[in-house]
Structure 1
């Protein structure tokens, strides 16, 4: 099938498989989830050599978007198995591991990626990670790990992130292990939302075949970079999920919200303005990301997409819930669970405020391409000068998007090395929204982004 026919087939499959309704307050029925996968839901994430589709970022984004029309948990589970399991499995697994994983995914309950730990949470890829594996002999490893808050945590297997231990010491290298469920103990978590995606504390304390180890790299630096790239790609693709959810919010607003009250109409327009920004971010990933090309150089863009897509979608979900009144708090209403289910998106893979500070750091440092060209950034250079020289903005900027004088003046008052840790958060927000602003084709979206940027500038002034 060509792309158009394939995507029609996926839409028809969703409509058929969920024709008798879908309860998002309980775990997604495993038979229906398997039927979706067997209908081809995950094929855009799968390489052609393994029976998947021809590499096409648009198809990946579209299946995530379509799934979003059936609720947050449905698109989240699509993203988990596609971006966090299938893609790393194919990139780092050997033929036997890939065959084992694909069989469990397409003929069983699939798998998840286990990274965060109960004691260290978001510091998972730093030195705090304590999960480890240790070779007993050439054919056996002992694995000791505690993980939590990974989706699909009670599925057929987990890709478990762990460090190798030698002579009682943990190395810096992080690798993955394909761990079948027979080695994993589960302690179910009672989450406030996302009940349709099973979460648990997973504990592993067992010997297993050494063939389950997936080496990311023999080099410490390259291994950590490869591990980080999993999340760079995941963040770039995240907008497929959030855009589908945003469309779901817009649809429910049109369906359930009255439009003859001026303030209600104002709030509805605010939702649509955030939807317009979502379109910009969605378009960027479709145009500038490729599933078969490296993404290490797009860390800043990935963090921008993750923060803005989740922030504006969560804003829209809260507005919709408010406009629904009591219905917005009614269990089982099609739109009542969106806000609570979506809130974790602003936290996982890095809390947004932390990522805004990182965006500032990434913006004020020379890119890999600049370093290769011998470019060195002067820390006394202003943010405005940096914006004008940064190719990441120049390649996406539209000529009609001139920077207003007041925002240019703000950027001129700050140098690359002059922000304190708190100011980095607010300036990072400004940088992120400018990245969307320079791409905005619609004047309404551009005006909304400028308004939001000016608020961030005020927050920076009074922080």
Structure 2
């Protein structure tokens, strides 16, 4: 079966399961996914989108993988995340860094036996500070490693058939090395105990929890980096972040469709909701998010083939991940506002989307941290070129050459290389939107809907103007640690009344 025929069948199957089924709404309130339902989905081999053709896949073409994620997230954002975890965080690293025999065995079981894989990096004490992880490994023979530690928040906890696990080498005296290694663990071999399942706020389909690891892994199941393990981890994470628009694409299209359909049919004050100016504004902004995400999908599909090492694509990856996930949450919040009281139900597409999209701003790099890193990356490039004026740099930088012209006066200032963290975050938000405007303009060159492009440009301009204003004049507040002193309005009111 060719990919296009698969995609048509896949969309029809998901529509039947998640939209047309009588039990669809009730199923959204259940944790996990029924085995029968999951097997129906996996029988169509959606994960073959991530697998090279020589191993039975569709060819591992980036555009096709993103299209599969888009189809998944239109019907179910948690399902799309499940597919994304398997593809970007397991199957693609296997393709680039595993041995030939291991690839064949794993890909065969994924395609023909509906097996799933996941990734374990995060630890209870070392979330964003992953390089200080305490999970360790030691070589106990010529062909075997011993791995011990604790991991948590791994999607598909207790469910995955394979795990890609990170660890640091432990020396004989107990010291941990600075580099990171990746090991493939087959769950049939045991050794991973789920200590606790978490009651995650959203994404009910995916089980999360805390895992105690005490396993043995063969030498051939250790990934082989081209240089260092840290560089390999950057390649893995950047590639995954660059593919977030696939998950965002179907979700934003669904938010757009739901908003337009609801506002056309809902009558308020004797007229259709869609005729109110503020409603038009909300819907147009959701449409601009859809357009920007389309531009991101095009960028990733064009510039990130499977074989490309993405370890140096930090600015592109962080921009795409942070911005598209911010837009997913904003779109969900707007849909909820438009739907009103009925949207504030967990079994409503609006209420469910708010809680399901929120963690996307946190996992695989908290957006606040990513925005900061984007500013730091730009400042580093400016220092290297001995430039201090932001517009001068952006007007010559390949990701912002065209888009920076829209802000020639606004960005005509020298940046402070020693700015506080909150300023780095603000500047990163602006830079991310300027880069995204470049993507959007490029999408327009390819014949994409001109009105949608125009609206997206307007929204991005408004956002950059607002963010730069805050960056230049705002951010003056500070924390008050002794906030309990003189902070009871009632006591102050009583004192005033007593004195009068």
Q: Quick check: 2:318–2:374 contact (8 Å CA) kept in 1?
A: yes
Give unmatched runs, 5+ long, in structure 1.
Answer: 368-374
Q: Distance in 2 between matches of 1:426 and 1:402?
A: 17
Offset at residue 447 of structure 1 (A): 1.0
Q: Distance in 2 between matches of 1:117 and 1:52?
A: 33
Structure 1 segment 61-210 matched on structure 2, within 5 A: 61-106=66-111, 107-124=113-130, 126=131, 128-154=132-158, 155-167=160-172, 168-181=174-187, 182-186=190-194, 187-206=196-215, 208-210=216-218
Q: Quick check: 1:364–1:416 contact (8 Å CA) kept in 2?
A: no
The answer to whether structure 1 residue 454 and structure 2 residue 469 are counterparts is no
- Assess, with a 3 A threshold, how the Cα gap between structure 1 residues 386 and 424 changes in structure 2: closer, same or farther: same
User: Aligned with 2:409: secondary structure?
Assistant: helix
Q: Distance in 2 between matches of 1:92 and 1:201?
A: 27
CA RMSD of aligned residues (A): 2.3
Q: Quick check: 2:45–2:114 contact (8 Å CA) kept in 1?
A: no
The answer to whether structure 1 residue 392 and structure 2 residue 399 are counterparts is yes
Q: Distance in 2 between matches of 1:324 and 1:330?
A: 10
Q: Quick check: 1:184–1:204 contact (8 Å CA) kept in 2?
A: yes
Match of 2:413 in 1: 413
Match of 1:350 in 2: 365
User: Aligned with 1:112: secondary structure?
Assistant: strand
Offset at residue 246 of structure 1 (A): 0.5
Offset at residue 199 of structure 1 (A): 0.6
Match of 1:11 in 2: 11
Match of 1:370 in 2: none
Q: Distance in 2 between matches of 1:451 and 1:445?
A: 10
Give unmatched runs, 5+ long, in structure 2.
Answer: 267-273, 445-452, 476-500
Q: Distance in 2 between matches of 1:177 and 1:296?
A: 19
Q: Quick check: 1:85–1:159 contact (8 Å CA) kept in 2?
A: yes
Offset at residue 418 of structure 1 (A): 5.2
Q: Distance in 2 between matches of 1:150 and 1:344?
A: 13
Q: Quick check: 1:178–1:214 contact (8 Å CA) kept in 2?
A: yes
- Of the structure 1 ranges 385-394 and 3-12, higher mean CA displacement relative to structure 2 is found in 3-12
TM-score for the superposition, normalised by structure 1: 0.89
Q: Quick check: 1:384–1:408 contact (8 Å CA) kept in 2?
A: yes
Superimposed CA distance per residue, residues 210-267 of structure 1 (whole angstroms, 9 cap, x where no aligned partner): 3464133385xx2210111101000001110011111111122233343244433332
Aligned length: 443
Structure 1 segment 353-364 matched on structure 2, within 5 A: 353-364=368-379
User: Aligned with 1:201: secondary structure?
Assistant: strand
Offset at residue 120 of structure 1 (A): 1.1
Superimposed CA distance per residue, residues 406-459 of structure 1 (whole angstroms, 9 cap, x where no aligned partner): x33342212373533321111111111111223333221111101001110122
Q: Distance in 2 between matches of 1:55 and 1:331?
A: 36
User: Aligned with 2:415: secondary structure?
Assistant: coil
The answer to whether structure 1 residue 59 and structure 2 residue 67 are counterparts is no
Match of 1:223 in 2: 229
Match of 2:342 among 327, 336, 350: 327
Offset at residue 80 of structure 1 (A): 0.6
Q: Distance in 1 between matches of 2:348 and 2:462?
A: 33
Match of 1:254 among 253, 260, 263: 260
Offset at residue 130 of structure 1 (A): 0.3
Superimposed CA distance per residue, residues 274-294 of structure 1 (whole angstroms, 9 cap, x where no aligned partner): 222222222222222212222
User: Aligned with 2:365: secondary structure?
Assistant: coil
Offset at residue 297 of structure 1 (A): 3.3
User: Aligned with 1:146: secondary structure?
Assistant: strand
- Assess, with a 3 A threshold, how the Cα gap between structure 1 residues 160 and 104 changes in structure 2: closer, same or farther: farther
Match of 2:491 in 1: none
Q: Distance in 2 between matches of 1:169 and 1:427?
A: 39
Q: Distance in 2 between matches of 1:290 and 1:34?
A: 29
Offset at residue 24 of structure 1 (A): 2.6
Offset at residue 51 of structure 1 (A): 0.8
Offset at residue 166 of structure 1 (A): 2.0
Offset at residue 295 of structure 1 (A): 1.9
The answer to whether structure 1 residue 307 and structure 2 residue 322 are counterparts is yes
Q: Distance in 2 between matches of 1:350 and 1:434?
A: 21
Match of 1:295 in 2: 310
Q: Distance in 1 between matches of 2:141 and 2:150?
A: 23
Structure 1 segment 208-287 matched on structure 2, within 5 A: 208-211=216-219, 213-217=221-225, 219=227, 222-257=228-263, 258=266, 259-287=274-302
Offset at residue 183 of structure 1 (A): 1.4
